[in-house]
Chain A
Amino acid sequence: MDNSFISRGIRRCSTPKFLAWLAPWAVLLGLGVFAIGLCLIKGLNQTNMDNRFAFGLWIFLDLTVIALGAGAFFTGFLLYILRREELRAVINSAVVIGFICYSGAVLILAVDVGQPLRAWFTFWHPNVHSMLTEVTFCITCYLGILAIEYAPIVLKNRQLRDVPSFLLFEHQLHKVMPLFAAVGTFLSFFHQGSLGGLYGVLQGRPFAFRDGFAIWPSTFFLFILSAIATGPAFVLLTTWMVSKISGKQLVRHSVFALLAQISGWLLIAYVGLKSLDTLVWLNVTAPRSGVSAIRFYGWQPFASWMLVVEIVVLGLLPALIFLSPSRRRSTPWLITASLLACGGVAVNRFVMTIQTLAVPTLRFEPFMLYFPSWQEIAAFVFVIAYGVILYSLSFRYLTLFPQERELQQQ
């Protein structure tokens, strides 16, 4: 039925089968729309957040998807700036994933601010000394860049490229893509960093507060490094998942191996610096603030095992797998390591967001418990469903993996 929209030489499932795949996601999307509507109409009392626990599920997952979405800018940087041509095989998919991650995050933030009609205040009256202002500006600009990077992929659709003006604009956009990749790298570098920085400057929260360099706490650099380390792993993971679901080989294994190698080296650097940062915090920063850092790990369920899991199991272990040439030849090992690495960045963002707010700072404060309301969960399920639907449509009608056709015909 829709074959004339599908790239030539690419096999896709039948239209009814595709619609059946989309149906449950559409239901979840509808549920999310309802929950978001409740939050927008009735206010943030629909959530379980309060003035004490102002960052909840939404911020934790926003930070996670933004870190995982770093695969878009970092792959673009490696391809267009460092000329790693092998990554052309996954750049389109990385851009679509990045666009989904960032647009989803911005959408949830619009609900999270409570009064989205006043969201423009942050642009019109910016507090230029706030890390959050930098994040707001950079994420908004970068979402625009991602939309521009997405445009030529859409314009290359089989039917759209028949329109001469679209074809010509796509061609010209393609020519200036290295510039957008550079601007995207610049913006991403700063907002990934500032997302970490905004925890690191919380002097009233010794669990998160860190020393640093110039105006930037160490978390600024660690967030950048963790994002660019896990971004390629997430591209690898999503490519493998799409390949399994569609039953098609989409890229050559050498592309997986390259992504794994890049991720591995960056992850090992991150683990080293994160360990050093933790030691400095335990022995210098926290004691200087008059608190014993180890006390923070006395609160169940966030005991010291979290630190071990985050750094060793979800950091060092995947890095070693990625860096082992024999393991890199094995797809199951690469997928295991990618899952661990992506889980690692999620745990890190969880620790920085939820654990920071949960553990008491003053002796008379209680340990805070928070569990998201169904509206919070449904709103985020909306983002997942939106992502799956947009990616599915892109995968069906656009060329996300240029090697697919050749691999299919071999």
Chain B
Amino acid sequence: MFPGIYDFHWDAGHIIFLGIFYTVLVIVVSTIAIAMRRAILDFRGERAEALRWHADFEDLPDRWRRCRHELTGEVASRVCPNAFDCRHCTEHPKFVAARTPSTLAATHGAVVAGFAVPADRLYHRGHTWVRQDDYGVLTIGLDDFGAHLLGTPDEIRLPRIGSHVVTNGTGWRAKKNGVAVRILAPIDGEVVDVGGPDKGWYLKVRPDNPPDTRHLLTVTEAKLWMLRELERLQTSVATEGVGAALADGGLPVENLSEAIPADRRDAVMGMMFLNA
């Protein structure tokens, strides 16, 4: 095994065989050490949340990762390659530049399929919204679809005041009927106040820099997206083998999750809130 140990000889056989063995060993050990070191650096850099979102996004089926510009008909079919972060998308500015004043011109709010879509805020694909308040503070809440789906949560874990949330990282956690979901934060910033379902908003955050909201949906986009989300929900709770059935025209109930079959609730909630 080593020079000096009984039966070791400085001959070609020992040198080649043990040389290869030690080379393999060095490669394996050093690779593990490098991976651990990088993981520690990531941990110190608080990159876990961002990485988690990317890992989760990778695990989502293609049909859940449709580009926002497909929703608006600006492109026939496109899977988002940027984890719903248009700030890093090379195509997004081109789509925006190609818009004419008549395209997506509507700026007023509306009620879409029973879900309110107010015009004073921007929307995140994880069913949260962001609204600019006074003094540079942003208010974050669940959109009407998310609020209907979650209903009155059985348990909420809000972040500490003073902690940071990152875009697509965990904003807060909620539990309903035994199903735990992470609600994704729509924007980066320091948490300055926390609310809850009774207040109609969940977090107030102060962005570190002037907020970049290019990845958030405008009200016009949100209206189209809301219809797609409803379709996604209907498909996921439809009877197996039947597919999506036409809605009866009624209004959505308050605690939608309770209407979902218990054995599918976990999957559906995860799907709608983009938790893998």
Contact = CB atoms under 8 A, between A and B. Distances in A.
Determine if chain A interacts with chain B: yes
Interface of A: 3-4, 8-11, 123-129, 133-134, 137, 141, 144-145, 148, 156, 161, 164-165, 167-169, 171-173, 175-176, 179-180, 183, 186-187, 399, 402, 405-406, 409
B17 A134 contact: yes
B276 interface: yes
Contact of A167 (B21, B27, B48, B61): B48
A208 to B, nearest CB: 23
Given A134-B17, A161-B52, 15 more contacts: A8-B266, A124-B1, A129-B13, A137-B21, A144-B28, A164-B49, A167-B51, A171-B39, A171-B55, A176-B35, A179-B27, A183-B28, A187-B24, A405-B267, A406-B61
A8 B275 contact: yes
B75 interface: no
A406 B235 CA distance: 13
B267 A8 contact: yes
Contact of B1 (A11, A126, A156, A406): A126
B24 A141 contact: yes
B102 to A, nearest CB: 37
A167 B52 contact: yes
B17 A128 contact: yes
B226 to A, nearest CB: 21
26 contacts: A9-B266, A9-B270, A10-B267, A11-B263, A124-B5, A126-B7, A126-B18, A128-B17, A128-B18, A137-B17, A156-B55, A161-B55, A164-B43, A164-B49, A167-B51, A168-B51, A172-B42, A175-B35, A176-B34, A180-B28, A180-B31, A187-B24, A399-B59, A405-B61, A409-B236, A409-B267
Contacts of A180: 28, 31
A167 B55 contact: yes
Given A137-B21, A171-B39, A409 B5 contact: no
Contacts, number: 100
A179 B275 CA distance: 30
Nearest to B55: A171
A89 to B, nearest CB: 13
A161 B271 CA distance: 17
Dominant secondary structure of chain B at its interface with chain A: helix
Interface magnitude class on chain B:
35 or more
B42 A168 contact: yes
Contacts of B18: 126, 128
Contacts of B267: 8-10, 405, 409
Interface in B28-84: 28, 31-32, 34-36, 38-39, 42-43, 47-49, 51-52, 55, 59, 61
Which of B13, B28, B49 is the most central at the interface, judged by chain A CB atoms within 10 Å of its CB?
A: B28
A148 B32 contact: yes
B209 to A, nearest CB: 24
A8 B276 contact: yes
B272 to A, nearest CB: 11
Nearest to B48: A164
Given A126-B1, A409-B236, A3 B266 contact: yes
A172 B52 contact: no
Contacts of A183: 24, 27-28
Contacts of B27: 179, 183
B135 interface: no
Which of B6, B24, B51 is the most central at the interface, judged by chain A CB atoms within 10 Å of its CB?
A: B24
B110 interface: no
Dominant secondary structure of chain A at its interface with chain B: helix
B1 A123 contact: yes
B249 to A, nearest CB: 26
Given A128-B17, A148-B28, A172 B35 contact: yes
B270 to A, nearest CB: 4
Contacts of B275: 8
B36 A169 contact: yes
B6 to A, nearest CB: 6
B28 A168 contact: no
- A-B pairs, 4 with minimum CB distance: A164-B48, A9-B267, A172-B35, A8-B270
Given A128-B17, A145-B28, A148-B28, A173 B35 contact: yes
B24 A186 contact: yes
Nearest to B37: A172
Which of B5, B34, B61, B180 is the most central at the interface, judged by chain A CB atoms within 10 Å of its CB?
A: B61
Contacts of A134: 17
B14 interface: yes
B25 interface: yes
A128 B28 contact: no
A187 B16 CA distance: 15
A128 B39 CA distance: 38
B110 to A, nearest CB: 30
Interface string B97-121: 0000000000000000000000000
Nearest to A182: B27
A165 B38 CA distance: 11
Contacts of A137: 17, 21
Contacts of B34: 176
Contact of B43 (A3, A11, A165): A165
B51 A171 contact: yes
A91 to B, nearest CB: 14
